[in-house]
Structure 1
Amino acid sequence: MSSDANSPSMPTVILDPEVTFISREIGGRTTYVSHHEATGKFFQLGAEEYRVASLLDGVRGVPELYESLRSEGIEWTTEDLAKFIAQLVQANVAVIKQGSTAGTDSPAAANMDAGHNRDAASGQTETSEPVGDAAPPSPSRPRPAALVTLLRFLPLLISQRFPLFRGDRIATRLTRYLGNAFEPIGFSLWTLLVLSGLCVVYGHFEAFAAELRRMFDPGLWPMLFLIWVVAKLIHEAGHAVAAKHHGVRVGQVGIMFFLLAPLAYVDVTDAWKLRRRIDRVQIALGGVYFELAAAAVAAWAWWLLPEGYAKHITAQFFLISGPATLLVNANPLLRLDGYYVVSDLTEIPNLRMHGRRQLGAVLQRLFFGIPQTRQLLSGWRVWFASIHAACSVVFQVFWMGGLVLGVAMWARGLGILLAVAGVLMWFLIPTVRWVWKIWTLEPGERFGLNVYRRRMLFYASLLITLVQQLGTVSSPFDRRVPVVVRFQDEQIARSPSDAFVESLFVERGEHVDQGTLLMRLKDPELRIRREKKVDDLEIVELRAIQYRRQGELSKAATSLENANALRRQIAEMDEQIAQLTVIATRSGYIVGNQVESLPGRFVSAGEELLRVSDPQEKELLALVPEQDVDAYQLATQNDSPSRVRLRGGLTIKAKPASLRPRASRTLIHPALAANVGGPLAVEPTLDGSGKMRLAQPYLESITKLDPITSAEVRSGQLGSMTIRDNRPLLARVYDAIATDFRRLGRSQ
C-alpha cells in the first residue's frame, strides 16, 4: 500500500466483520486480542493499533484516518499508518473495499504478531519457522517465477501438516474422567505421584543411567518409537483435557512431519480468549503435566517388575516421558510449551517476535547507526525479551544445525536435500532479505553508495578476512591424547600350566634382585606326560632303526619324523617344567593382590601369580589416533615437555616419545576401555572370545618418567597429554563434526 496520503489511487479498507476484540491488561497497559473466526488466528494489538483498526470503516482513506488520529493525540505518520493497514490486509484481517491495490513495504513495528497461531500442544509445529524475523520483500518488485516457486516449495520440504479429525468431542469425553486432575485435589495427588517417582529414580540412579545408554542401541529403536507414540498421545490428551476443562474449544487433531520426524499436534488456539494467565499456563503445560504423571507410574512399574524385557520397557518409557519431554517441550528457548508459559508469566505476548525485533533494532543501531523505531515494550520487558531472543537464537542455531546434520547423515540423499532446504529457509534467505533491506534503506550517493552501504561493505570485507584467517591460522586450542601410567619392564609371573604352588620364597613388598628364586610350582601330571613322551620317543627310534635294517626306508623316514615331533613336544614340556621354578628376571619389589595365599593353591594355566616392579620406574603409554599423528610428531620434534593431566587432579610434565611405526586395535591396557570408565571406545573381537578391542586403530608411544615423577603417580592412572593443534580452526571444527558422524555411522 502506498504511503502517499494524497495519492488518488489510494484504496479504502474495511475491517473484516468476523474479527472480534477482547481487551486485556498486560503489564499495566491495555491491549487487545483480536480473533479472526474464519482463519482461527489471533493477533495482539496495542491501544493505538486497536484504535486504527476500529476506524477502518471502508469510507475513510489514509488522509482522513491520519487527521482523525491527530485529533485524538495519536502521533502516527502517514507512512506508519499505511504500513499498518497493509499488514492487516496481508493477514486477511482487513479487506480492500475500492480502488486498486498497491505495493506494500515491509510490515511496520506494530504491536501484533500477524499469523501467530497458538498451537500449545503441537509439539514441534513452531520450530519450522526461520530463526530470524526478516520482513518479506516488497510486492512492488515482482519476483521471478522460479524464486516464487522455490519459496513456496521449501517449507513443504521441511514440514507438512495433516489434520486427521476434530478433537473437541473426544476431549469432552476425556475431561469427564481426567478433568479433575487440574483441580487442587488432583494437583496434590499429581505432586505426590511425581515426587514418589523421583524418589524411586534417585534411589536407583545408576540403573536408570544404564538404561539411558541402552536407548542408543539401534536394535531397540522400533520399540522406542512405539513408546514415543504412546507418550505423545498422552501429551496431546493433556493439552486437550486442560483446554476443555477451562471451556476452550479443541480444534483439529493431526500429525505433522518435521524433517521426516512424525509429530502429533492438537489445536487449542482459542486459549488466547482466556483472561487469567494461570488458565493459559495450565493449558500450555497440560501435555508435560500428563506425561510426568505417566513417567512416575512407569518408574514405579520399573521398581515393582522382575528382571526382564517389561522392566526395560518401563524404564525407557520413563526416560521418554520424563527427562526428554522436559528437555524439549518445557524448554523456553524453543517455541513450544515452555515458551508459551514464559510468555504468559511475563505478560509479553508474542515474546519471540518482540524480542527478536528489539534485538535486531539494537544490532542495526550498533553496527549501522539506524535509528531505532518506536518500541513495542516498556520497562524491564525490553531487556528481558532481548536476552531471551539472543539466547533462543544461539540455542536454535546449534539445535537446528544438529537436526539438519543428523538428518543429512541418516537419510543420505533425501537428508541432504532437506539439509539444503533448511539452510536456505532458516539462514540464507533471511540473511539476503536483511541485507537487501539495509542496502535499499536509502538511495545511493557517490558511486552508488551511502553510509549504510559503505558500512555493509566494510563488515563484509571484515567477515571475509576473518574466515580466511580462521582457515589458515593455526588453532589456538590444544589436542589431548589419552595416556595411562604403567611400570617400566614389569615382570608378570604367570602359571605355565595347571599346577599347585609348592613353595613361596618371597613376601609382598619385599625387594628382590635379578635371579632371585621366587616360588616353585608342582605339576605331577606334566612330568608323567613327559616320561610317557620319552618312552614313546625310544620306541619310535627303535622302529626307525628296525625299518632301516629291513630296507623299508619310507617307514623309517616316517618314524624319524614322528621322533622329531616327539622331541619338540618333550622340549616344550621341559620348558614348562623349568618355568615351574619362578625366578626374578629383574630387580624390584614383589606386588600382587593374593601373594600370601599362594602356597598350596591350585592355579590354572595363564593365571597371574605375582609381579616384580620398581615404583621409581614408571612410564606413560600414549595411544594416538590417526587424525592426531601429524600434530603428535610435531610435538616430539620440540624439546619442550608437554603437560599431562592425570585423573585425581595431578599434573606432570613429560616429553612425548616417538611413535611406534604400526597402528593396532589391540587393547594394550584394560583401564583405557570405555566399558570400564576409560576414554577409548571398544568393541568385541571377531573371534567370539568375549575379549574387547579398540574401535579404531591407534599408534603407541612410551615415555619414560624420572624417579621423582614415578613416585608421585600410580600405575593404572589415566590422563591426557596436551599437544599443540597444528590445524586451522575451521579444519578443527570440521574434523570434530566428521568424527562424530563417523561414530554415529558405526553405531548404526
Structure 2
Amino acid sequence: MRGLPDISTVDLSRTRLKLRDDLMFVPQIYGGEIFYHLEVRTTAEYYRVGYAEYVFVSLLDGRTSFAEALAVASQQLKEKALTQSQAMAIYSWLLDNGLAAFADSDASSSGATSGVRESAEKGQFWRRFNPLWMKIPLGRPELLLRFLKPFVGWLFSGPATVMAILLICFAGMKLSSQWSLFTATSGNVISRDNWLWLLLVWVGLKVFHELAHGLVCLRYGGSIREAGIIFAFLAPLAYVDASASWSFRSRWHRIHTALAGVYIELILASIAVIAWTNCDSALVRHLLQNIVVMASFSTIVFNLNPLMKFDGYYVMSDSLQVPNLSSQANSVLMSLVQKFFYGATTGQPTILGRNRFILATYGTAACVWRLLVSLSLLMTASVLFHGAGLVLAACGVLLWFCKPIWKFLQSLARLWREYPERLFRAGFITGVMGMLAITALRNLSAPVMTTAPGVVEFSDGEVVRPNTSGFVETVHVKNGQDVVAGQLLISLQNDDVTNQFHDLEQQLAQEELRLQTAAGEHNSGALNVAQGNLVSLSRQLEECKKRLDGLQIRSARAGKVIARDLPSLVGTFTKAGTEVMTIGREQEKELRLSIGQRELSVSTSLVGKPLKVRIGTHSVVSCVLLRVNPGASRIIPHPAMAAVNGGPLAVAEPDEKESAGGDRLRLTEHRFTAIVQLPEDRAEEFRGGERGTAALGLHESSLGSYLWRFGNDWITRQIDMVKSPP
C-alpha cells in the first residue's frame, strides 16, 4: 500500500506480535533434543523451531512486547535462552512467513505487515509461474484415499511388508538368473520409439507412488489436503500433499510415510519381473520390462537420492534426527565459509562433532549435485525444445543462479559498509587461493591414468561364410555353443540349385542310356558324342554338387560359436561369402581397443610393451599391445562399445554419405583401433563381447588442460546423447 513504511524502518523491539489463531504446535524429539513442529492448519504450511525459540514465540500473545517476551524467556531458560539478535531474527521470521501479525495498535502505527505479506506474495507469484517447475492442484484426494484404504491399506501393515520383502527378494533372484537376457534388451527401453510407452508407464507408476504416500499418511492420522500435477521441464509428475506427516511424533511413522511410494513401486517391479520371466509374448515382455526399469532403477536413483528433496531426503533427515537437514547443512557450510574467508563467527555453533562434519559433507555434496543436475537439465531443455528450449534455459538461469548471485553481491555491499576489513581479508584469501590454483593447474601433471575402452573378441577365429547363396532354413547352433569339426551349423534352401542338380542327374542318366545304345549298335559317331556329353555333364554335376553341399554350412574346426542374433537369420536370404558367424578357440582371444586421437601418440609408443588390462569384474591382467591400426574410422567397432548399449563411446546418426552402408549409428569422432593379445592361461575367463579397459599410462598434459578437456567432453557427450537417443 502506498505510504506505508518499510519493515526495516520499524523499531521491532517496541512492538507486540500476535500469533495466528490457526497455528498449532506439536513437540518432537530429535537426537535427544526437543523441537516443536508448527502447522498452519488453514494453509497446510509446516515449520520447525527449537525449544528455546518455542518458549519465546509462545509468549507473543498480542499484549506482550518483544522486550518483555525476551525477558520472560531469559528467566525461564537461563543460559539456554535466545540472545537479542537471535530473538529479533525469529521475530522477523514470523512476520516474513505470515505466522504472526502486529497487534492492532502497533499495526496501525507501523504499517509494516502489508509490506511483509506483499513481499511474500510476490515471491510466491514467481514460484507459481516458474516455467521449469509448474504446480497444478487438482483438488483434495482424501475421499478417494479413504475409499481405497479398506481395500489396499493392508499392504502397508507389518505382515504384508514382510511378505513384500520376500517377494522382492524372490523377484531379484529370478531376474539375476536371466540378467544377460534382460540387459541385452534393456537398450530398447530408452529408445526414441519407446518414449510414449515410457511416459505412460512413468505417469502410471507415479500415481501409485503418490497414492501410497497418501494411504500411509492417513494410516497414522494425517490428512491429505491437496493432489495434483507438477510439470518439471514439461515432464508430468503426480503429487499428493502428505506434509501432514511432519507432525507425527514418531520418526518411524514419518519414515514409513516417506518410503511408502518406493515400497509400492518395488512391489510392482517385482510382479513385473515374475511376469516377464514367465511370458512368451514379445509385446507384453517389452511393456513389463518398461515397468521393471522405471519402477526400480529410476525410483532408487531419484526418489531415494538424499541429495534431492524427495523421499530419500526425508528418510535421511529422520534417520540422522536432524530436522530441516538441507537448511542446517547449508547453515553449517556457510558458517565454515564465512569463518574461513571473512573471519566471522555466527556465535556458538549449535551443531558439533560428528553431526557437524556430516552436515558439512552433505551440504557440499548437495551443492555439487544441484549444480550438475541444473546444468544437465538446462542443456537437455535447450536441445530438446530447440528455440523454446533456449527460452526455458534462460528462465532457468535467471531463476536458479541470478537470485543467489544478487544476494551474494548485496552481502558484499553490506560488508563494504559495515566490515570493510573482512572484505579485504576475503579478497586477499581469494587472490592467494586463485594464484595457487592457477599455478597448480598449469604446472602439475594430471594424476589421471590414460585409458582406452575395448571389447573381447576371438583373435584367430574361423569366419564362417556360405559358399552358395540361399534362404536360411534352419540354424542348428546358438551363440556361445561349443562345436566340433564338421558339425552342421546352418541349413540353407535354394530351389534353383536343388532343381538344377536333379535335372543334371536326369540328363546324365539319359546320356548314359544313349552311350549304351550307341555301343550296342556299334555307332562310333553317336558313341563319341555320348562320351563327350557324359564328361561335360559329370563336370557340371560335380560343380552343382559342391553348390548343393554348400547349402549345408559346417564347421571346419572345433571351437565356440560367435554370432549376434542368430535366430533372426531364419527366413532371410544370405549371399555367398557373407559372414554369418565365427568359430573361435577359448584360448585365443584379444582385446580390441578403441583409441582416441589424443591417446594415439601414447598408444603407438607402447606397441610391443606390456600394459595392464581390466575386463569386466575380473582381476587385472598383464597383456602385450600388438599393434595400432593406422586408419581412423567412425564405424562402431562392436555394438557393446556404443553408449546406447551401455558402452563408453558416444554415437550419433550418420550423415547421408555414411548412411549408405546401412548402419544406423556412427561414432561421434574418428577413432583408431588397437589389438591387445590376452594370455592363453587367462583367456578362458573372459567372454566374447565383454567390455574392458586398458591402462596406457599417466596423462602427459597439465591438470588444467585435462580438467578443461574433461568438462568439454562431458558437456559434448550429454548434448550428443540428447540429440541422438537410441
TM-score by length of 2: 0.69
SS of aligned partner of 2:43: coil
Q: Is 1:189–2:163 an aligned residue pair?
A: yes
- CA contact 1:4–1:79 (8 Å) conserved in 2: no
CA RMSD, 1 decimal: 5.2
Corresponding residue of 1:747: 725
Corresponding residue of 1:308: 282
State the shift of 1:482 in Å. 5.1
Q: How does 1:150-299 map to 2 (within 5 A)?
A: 152=126, 156-299=130-273
Corresponding residue of 1:87: 93
- CA contact 1:2–1:10 (8 Å) conserved in 2: no
AA at the equivalent of 2:635: R
Of residues 41, 45, 51 in structure 2, which corresponds to 1:41?
Answer: 45
AA at the equivalent of 2:630: L
AA at the equivalent of 1:747: P
CA 1:151/1:631 → structure 2, altered by over 3 Å: closer, same or farther? farther
Deviations 1:345-388 (A, max 9, x none): 33322122122212221232233321133444466544443333
Task: Give the percent of matched residue pairs that are identical in Structure 1 and Structure 2.
Answer: 23
- CA contact 1:167–1:251 (8 Å) conserved in 2: yes
Output the CA distance in 1 between the equivalents of 2:589 and 2:40.
78
CA 1:209/1:87 → structure 2, altered by over 3 Å: closer, same or farther? same
Corresponding residue of 1:698: 670
State the shift of 1:609 in Å. 14
- CA contact 1:62–1:78 (8 Å) conserved in 2: no
SS of aligned partner of 1:38: coil
State the shift of 1:92 in Å. 0.5
CA 1:466/1:300 → structure 2, altered by over 3 Å: closer, same or farther? same
Deviations 1:238-292 (A, max 9, x none): 1111122222111111011122221111112222332222222222222222222
AA at the equivalent of 1:287: G
State the shift of 1:9 in Å. 9.1
Corresponding residue of 1:27: 31
- CA contact 2:382–2:392 (8 Å) conserved in 1: yes
- CA contact 1:23–1:33 (8 Å) conserved in 2: yes
Deviations 1:321-345 (A, max 9, x none): 2232122212222211122222223
AA at the equivalent of 2:267: A
Deviations 1:450-495 (A, max 9, x none): 1333323541574487469758987554544456899999999989
CA 1:182/1:489 → structure 2, altered by over 3 Å: closer, same or farther? closer
Output the CA distance in 2 between the equivalents of 1:47 and 1:89.
19
Deviations 1:519-569 (A, max 9, x none): xxxxx99xx9xxxxxxxxxxxxxxxxxxxxxxxxxxxxxxxxxxxxxxxxx
Output the CA distance in 2 between the equivalents of 1:490 and 1:328.
45
Deviations 1:386-435 (A, max 9, x none): 33333333333333333333223222233333333334433443244245
Corresponding residue of 1:96: 102
Output the CA distance in 2 between the equivalents of 1:293 and 1:384.
32
AA at the equivalent of 1:60: T
Corresponding residue of 1:16: 20
Q: Is 1:69–2:41 an aligned residue pair?
A: no
Output the CA distance in 2 between the equivalents of 1:274 and 1:315.
37
CA 1:305/1:433 → structure 2, altered by over 3 Å: closer, same or farther? same
State the shift of 1:223 in Å. 0.9
Deviations 1:77-96 (A, max 9, x none): 43332221111000101102
Q: Is 1:348–2:334 an aligned residue pair?
A: no
Q: How does 1:148-547 map to 2 (within 5 A)?
A: 152=126, 156-377=130-351, 380-434=354-408, 436-437=410-411, 440-441=414-415, 443=417, 449-456=420-427, 458-459=429-430, 462-463=433-434, 466=437, 477=448, 479-481=450-452
- CA contact 1:272–1:280 (8 Å) conserved in 2: yes
Pick which of 469-478 and 401-410 moved more: 469-478
CA 1:466/1:416 → structure 2, altered by over 3 Å: closer, same or farther? farther
AA at the equivalent of 1:629: Q
Corresponding residue of 2:711: 733
Output the CA distance in 1 between the equivalents of 2:463 and 2:286.
42
- CA contact 2:25–2:39 (8 Å) conserved in 1: yes
State the shift of 1:618 in Å. 12
CA 1:311/1:85 → structure 2, altered by over 3 Å: closer, same or farther? same
Output the CA distance in 2 between the equivalents of 1:264 and 1:325.
14
AA at the equivalent of 2:283: Y
- CA contact 1:619–1:702 (8 Å) conserved in 2: no
- CA contact 2:56–2:70 (8 Å) conserved in 1: no
State the shift of 1:695 in Å. 3.7
Pick which of 486-495 and 348-357 moved more: 486-495
SS of aligned partner of 1:665: coil
SS of aligned partner of 1:30: strand
AA at the equivalent of 2:717: T
- CA contact 1:478–1:725 (8 Å) conserved in 2: no
State the shift of 1:176 in Å. 1.8
Corresponding residue of 1:113: none
CA 1:355/1:294 → structure 2, altered by over 3 Å: closer, same or farther? same
Output the CA distance in 1 between the equivalents of 2:220 and 2:265.
20
Corresponding residue of 1:632: 600
State the shift of 1:61 in Å. 2.9
State the shift of 1:696 in Å. 4.9
CA 1:149/1:326 → structure 2, altered by over 3 Å: closer, same or farther? closer
CA 1:213/1:467 → structure 2, altered by over 3 Å: closer, same or farther? farther
SS of aligned partner of 2:724: helix
Pick which of 82-91 and 326-335 moved more: 326-335
AA at the equivalent of 2:90: F
Output the CA distance in 2 between the equivalents of 1:684 and 1:403.
22
Output the CA distance in 2 between the equivalents of 1:386 and 1:610.
57
AA at the equivalent of 1:665: I
AA at the equivalent of 1:54: S
Segments of structure 2 that go 5 or more residues without pairing to the other structure are 1-5, 470-483, 486-499, 505-539, 548-555, 561-573
- CA contact 1:684–1:690 (8 Å) conserved in 2: no
AA at the equivalent of 2:205: A
- CA contact 1:243–1:249 (8 Å) conserved in 2: yes
Q: Is 1:722–2:702 an aligned residue pair?
A: no
SS of aligned partner of 2:169: helix
AA at the equivalent of 1:67: A
State the shift of 1:101 in Å. 5.1
Output the CA distance in 2 between the equivalents of 1:650 and 1:265.
51
Pick which of 51-60 and 473-482 moved more: 473-482
Query: Size of the alignment, in residue pairs?
Result: 612
Output the CA distance in 2 between the equivalents of 1:278 and 1:161.
29
Corresponding residue of 1:51: 55
CA 1:655/1:728 → structure 2, altered by over 3 Å: closer, same or farther? farther
Deviations 1:195-231 (A, max 9, x none): 3333322332223323432211110110111111111
AA at the equivalent of 2:716: A
SS of aligned partner of 1:215: helix
CA 1:17/1:416 → structure 2, altered by over 3 Å: closer, same or farther? same
Output the CA distance in 2 between the equivalents of 1:187 and 1:4.
58
Output the CA distance in 2 between the equivalents of 1:155 and 1:468.
45
AA at the equivalent of 1:331: N
Corresponding residue of 2:511: none
